Amino acid sequence: MIRLGVPSKGRLMEQCFDWFAARGVRLSRAGSDREYAGRVDGAENVALVLLSAGEIPRELMAGRIHLGVTGTDLIREKLAGWRSHVEELAPMGFGHADLILAVPACWSDCDSLDDFATIARDFRAEHGFRLRIATKYHRLVRAWLSAEEVADYQLVDSQGATEGTVANLTAEAIADITSSGETLRANHLKIIGEEPLLRSQATLLRSLSAGDETEVRDFVARIGL
Amino acid sequence: MSKREKQAIGQQILAAFRAAGAQEVAPDILLEAETLLDLYGEDIRARAYVTQDPIRGEMMLRPDFTVPVVQMHMANGAEPARYCYLGEVFRKQDHGETRPEHPRDNEYLQAGFELFARDPEADAEVFALFHDILAPLNLQASMGDMDLLMDAVRALPLSGARRAALLHHIWRPRRFARLLARFATPAEARSFPESGAPWTGLRSPAEMQARIDRLRGDAAEAPLAPQWVERLERLFAIGAPAPEALRQLRELVAEIPDIAEAVDRLERNLAALAARGIDVGAVHFDASHGRHTMEYYDGMTFSFAAAGHEDWPPVASGGRYDALAAVLGQAQGRSIPAVGGIIRPGLVHELGGQILGKAA
């Protein structure tokens, strides 16, 4: 029996169900909407496991699920050395979101990361502490800024309502996932840089440690991958 | 590999440091994160283990000894002072995309020596001490001088703001190169259209205005003449046996007179090393050596690397860190030049453990 992990809530779950349905496998919740057990029709030997999208990387790494659906962002943030633990089988074409760096829209002198690096340096000299970037994507943001050779900043943890931290004076900039940018605009923030740190979307992944490789291969072939 | 054997090698090194006049110190393993974060920046979080104390706040497992030793000295040390230590440091590795087959140790021994003195021979004393202890291992000794590079940058005919920007980013090679290229081309006048968005955040309108004024002033600056860029690139690229590097530097002094003092100092340092019996022809001088080390080194830097183990960190490394010592001494109103370094007993052990040629 192979175990397929799928996000347990909302639009992401429905889009997952649609994606598999279009490939001949019908996933559904067993019983009521509140129950986190699932049904699989159209494939034998597959069990559906409904999980929080944020836990799917960990479950894949541990080999407790054979296949799983989650965002590229979560895989790269949560699994150090992710290529050694999971294989990306297919981008699924939904759940698109970009990890971006945003600063106050009123900073008319800040259009690029070079501007940002200079502003960070000035800020530190003026305020005596490093410019704060609020984020929950610590590893991704740190690795990116290090590769871009930006110094003079610090990360502060923000697990939600990150866009509000600038107005609340607990951060000067934010690094977060955005799809439409509306929340950013509503909080008077703007994205800097041409390219986002990461373009994320829902992805079907295979655990490299869960075993049962023949059965996994058969199922993957069955959905046309 | 046995911890006891590494510990024994560390003790041998420590004995050599003590014989060189150092007092042994034992800094704490748990250090206040704030000081380290302020000095090293966010990158340290990717390398050091951070933990939480309900009363003391964020703490770090000692990622290196330099900071606590300097703090200890500034709090109660007489001068000149020599300190030595042996103990674990803790470094985590962030693997990026692929997990390495053989992850490096995340806990390993360092044996170190730090010298606080106004003695012009301090660089030579520390380098020679490390050189002699490690002599039987036939390591490749390399040396650099950050002050030489910084003097050359300070000599550029640029505005103060441009010079300060280059000096700040000297440890970040690509950002430095981009800045230099930008300063060498005619500045484009930039416009700063008001966004219409309400002001938000701690950075004030006055701070932004100050930067805009600076950028407008900068746009009026003449581009840096290409020969200056070329001179700087030639200086940064010097890498040769020390006597040959010194000859090349002497030639460059004609074009960048402001490095004369640093070149004289290098000559004195090499003479002092030769007087201590070191074959300076076997020491590789790499002008950019310090750009690849810790950001706090601002004078001589050195490393001893094992040939055939290019994937290893250096067996020993160190340098001068006057600015760091000044920053950490601020609270006590103290400042003293400082130079020091560390040896990794674990790597010495892997190379067979035979050390202490002359020093023994």
| pLDDT tens-digit readout, A143-194 | 999 888 898 999 999 999 999 999 999 999 999 999 888 999 999 999 998 8
Say if residue B114 carries a ligand binding annotation.
yes
Q: Where are the alpha helices (DSSP H) in chain B?
A: 3-19, 33-40, 43-47, 66-76, 122-134, 146-154, 160-168, 173-183, 205-219, 226-236, 242-253, 260-275, 322-329, 345-350
The CATH H-level (homologous superfamily) assignment of domain A97-199 is Periplasmic binding protein-like II (3.40.190.10)
Residue B8 lies in a domain: yes
Give the residue numbers spanning the domain of B5.
1-139+306-315+337-360
- Chain A residues close to B174, C-beta within 8 Å: 149
Nearest CB among A80, A81, A121 relative to B168 is that of A121
Say whether B59 sits in a helix, a strand or coil: strand
Tell me what pLDDT residue A92 has. Answer: 96
Residue B203 near chain A (CB below 8 Å): yes
Say if residue B53 carries a ligand binding annotation.
no
Residue B216 near chain A (CB below 8 Å): no
How much is the average pLDDT of A27-42? 77
Same fold, A2-95+201-222 and A97-199: yes
- Chain B residues close to A129, C-beta within 8 Å: 38
CATH class, domain A2-95+201-222, is alpha beta
- Chain A residues close to B46, C-beta within 8 Å: 139, 142-143, 146
| pLDDT tens-digit readout, A191-210 | 998 889 999 999 999 999 99
Nearest CB among A76, A85, A172 relative to B203 is that of A172
Predicted TM-score of the model (pTM): 0.85
Residue B297 lies in a domain: no
Q: Which of A82, A130, A149 to mutate to test the interface with B (most CBs of B within 10 A)?
A: A149
Residue B185 lies in a domain: no
Tell me what pLDDT residue A38 has. Answer: 83
What's the sign of the alpha-carbon dihedral B33, B34, B35, B37?
A: positive
SS (H, E, C) B166-196: HHHCCCCHHHHHHHHHHHCCCCCCCCCCCCC
Q: CA A107, A111, A115 angle in degrees (round to 5)?
A: 85
Q: Would you place residue A35 in the very low, low, confident or very high pLDDT band (cuts 50, 70, 90)? A: low
Tell me what pLDDT residue B95 has. Answer: 66
How many structural domains are present in chain B?
1
Nearest to B291 by CA among B203, B176, B151, B126: B176
- Min mean pLDDT across A25-39, A117-131, B24-38 is at A25-39
| pLDDT tens-digit readout, A67-96 | 999 999 999 999 988 999 999 999 999 999
Residue B210 lies in a domain: no
CATH assignment at residue B109: 3.30.930.10
Domain residue ranges of chain A, discontinuous segments joined by +? 2-95+201-222, 97-199
Tell me what pLDDT residue B360 has. Answer: 43
What's the sign of the alpha-carbon dihedral A162, A167, A169, A174?
A: positive
Q: Would you place residue A33 in the very low, low, confident or very high pLDDT band (cuts 50, 70, 90)? A: low
Say if residue B91 carries a ligand binding annotation.
yes
Burial track B151-168 (b if 16+ CB lie within 10 A, e otherwise): bbbebbebbeebbebbeb
Which residues in chain B (77-96) have CB-CB distances under 8 A to chain A? Answer: 94-96
Residue A144 near chain B (CB below 8 Å): no
The minimum CA-CA distance between B162 and chain A, rounded to whole Å, is 11
Residue-level pLDDT, tens digit, chain B, 360 residues = 588 999 999 999 999 999 999 999 999 999 999 888 888 888 888 889 999 999 998 999 999 999 999 999 999 888 889 999 999 999 987 767 777 777 778 899 999 999 999 999 999 999 999 999 999 999 999 999 999 999 999 999 999 989 999 998 898 888 899 999 999 998 888 889 988 899 999 999 999 999 999 999 888 889 999 999 999 999 999 999 999 999 999 999 999 999 999 999 999 999 999 999 999 999 999 999 998 776 789 999 999 999 999 888 999 999 999 988 998 998 888 889 999 999 999 999 999 878 875 444
Size of interface A-B (CB pairs under 8 A): 117
Tell me what pLDDT residue B359 has. Answer: 44
Say if residue B110 carries a ligand binding annotation.
yes
